[in-house]
């Protein structure tokens, strides 16, 4: 089950408030210690922060998927440009002897010549997450922690 980004941000922003109230009631005081305040200040407030702290914010590529036959088209980039361009319509042949699909792939623009600004009707986002690379970098960080490896002290 996936949690949407906005709901995740809401839950992360409510967590410090809930903990602050809990700590205040348990101490019968509104004043938190410096240590407790430090813990609350270090808590992430957004999903983006959580993803970046665990190095899970990976590079993505947005493909244009045909709404009819689901064929995907990678973005094309002009020399020196970072703006993706996609074909205007699907030219996939679902079967060898069939006609091309011809379904519209991108939002219609006022200028039919400039397709570089057109966005896919059905974007398909691919995440370039490399598990092995992440695990190796995580294991290196764990080995450098002095509280885990006393030999580094």
pLDDT of residue 118: 80
Q: Give the pLDDT band (50/70/90) at residue 101.
A: very high
- The answer on pLDDT for 62 being more than 50 is yes
DSSP string, 88-115: SB----SSTTSPP---B-B---S-SS-G
140 lies in some domain: yes
State whether 93 and 134 are in the same domain: no
State whether 148 and 103 are in the same domain: no
Residue ranges of E strands in the chain: 59-65, 72-73, 76-77, 84-85, 123-128
Cβ partners under 8 Å of residue 136, min gap 6: none
Task: Name the residue with higher pLDDT: 14 or 28.
Answer: 14
State whether 123 and 142 are in the same domain: no
Environment class of residue 66 by beta-carbon count within 10 Å: exposed (0-12), middle (13-18) or buried (19+)? Answer: buried
For residues 94 and 100, give the distance between their C-alpha atoms in angstroms, rounded to a whole number: 8
pLDDT of residue 121: 92
State whether 108 and 146 are in the same domain: no
Q: Structure pTM?
A: 0.54
Find the helix or strand (DSSP H, E) in which 13 lies.
helix 5-27
pLDDT of residue 151: 53
- The answer on pLDDT for 150 being more than 70 is no
State whether 150 and 122 are in the same domain: no
pLDDT of residue 1: 35
φ, ψ of residue 59 to 5 degrees: the values are -70, 145
User: What number is the average pLDDT over the span 13-22?
Assistant: 86
State whether 107 and 139 are in the same domain: no
pLDDT of residue 26: 76
For residues 59 and 16, give the distance between their C-alpha atoms in angstroms, rounded to a whole number: 30
> What SS3 state is found at 126?
strand
- Tally the domains of the chain: 3
50 lies in some domain: no
Question: Which residue range is the domain that position 153 belongs to?
Answer: 129-153
Task: Tell me the longest C-alpha to C-alpha distance in the chain.
Answer: 78
State whether 100 and 68 are in the same domain: yes
């Amino acid at each position: 089950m996936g949690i949407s980004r906005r709901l995740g941000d809401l839950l992360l922003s409510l967590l410090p408030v809930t903990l602050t109230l809990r700590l205040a009631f348990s101490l019968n005081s509104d004043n938190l210690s410096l240590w407790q305040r430090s813990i609350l200040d270090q808590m992430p407030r957004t999903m983006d922060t959580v993803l970046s702290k665990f190095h899970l914010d990976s590079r993505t590529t947005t493909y244009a998927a045909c709404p009819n036959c689901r064929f995907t088209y990678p973005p094309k980039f002009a020399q020196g440009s970072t703006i993706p361009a996609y074909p205007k319509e699907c030219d996939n042949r679902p079967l060898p002897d069939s006609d091309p699909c011809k379904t519209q792939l991108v939002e219609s623009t006022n200028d039919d010549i400039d397709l570089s600004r057109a966005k896919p009707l059905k974007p398909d986002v691919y995440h370039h997450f490399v598990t092995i690379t992440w695990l190796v970098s995580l294991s290196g960080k764990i080995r450098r922690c002095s509280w885990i490896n006393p030999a580094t002290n």
